[in-house]
Amino acid sequence: MEITEVRIKLMEEPGERLKAFCSITFDDCFVVRDLKIIEGSTGPFVAMPSRKLTSHCPGCGMKNHLRSNYCNQCGRKLDSNQAVRQPDGRAKLYADIAHPINSDCREQIQDVVIHEFEAEIQRAKEPGYISRYDDFDDDYGARPTARVDEAHRTQGTPAPHHPPPSTPSHASGSPTPSSGGHQTPAIEQEKRDPPSDFGAGIL
């Protein structure tokens, strides 16, 4: 596995620990977005994309964030201290959406992203700098694809789903019979009582 692209979006808020967002691409075919570069006590580090943990309201069952004081659905008072405590005593309020499962992969991501982060800081000092971090999926070259059921795939130009209605020839005076050789009641009635405006319209 190779990290083939890193895009950085620098934050312009001095004094904040959050220094940048970034996205990484693996093997030119898989993108992970919303990684964070945070200033730690020993330097910047990479935090994986995460989501807020939730719990169910005991009254209505609605999901609420762990630190919520009241249910967003029924307004019931909630226990805001129900989060699981980590070994260092801090409450666990977030869970990673995507993350490495071994130290080698984590170090690879850390080294590549931080190197690109430092290079991005230097590029930001140049005139006309524009961040390469994308805010839209189609910036990655995605193209809309049509879903085709293989069982219904046809070669060449497909035939129409419904055959076009045939127009009876009134000049010949003989309506087209059905596949079984029997004429419909409407046609038989026309033969018995032809309309006064015969030939003016389409049956």
Model confidence, pTM:
0.56
Task: Look at 82 and 162; give whichever has higher pLDDT.
Answer: 82
Query: Which among 82, 79, 98, 93 has a CA at the least distance from the CA of 36?
Result: 98
- C-alpha distances out from residue 77 to 59, 72, 74, Å: 10, 10, 9
Task: Look at 197 and 69; give whichever has higher pLDDT.
Answer: 69
Tell me if residue 55 falls in helix, strand or coil.
strand
| 151-188 per-position pLDDT tens digit | 444 444 444 455 555 555 454 454 444 444 555 555 55
Structural domains of the chain sorted by starting position, each given as residue range(s) with its CATH number in brackets? 1-49+97-135 (3.30.1120.40), 50-95 (no CATH)
Quickly tell me which residue has 């666990």 as its tokens: 92
Range list of β-strands (E), 49-122: 50-52, 54-56, 63-65, 94-96
- C-alpha distances out from residue 53 to 12, 22, 130, 180, Å: 28, 22, 35, 68
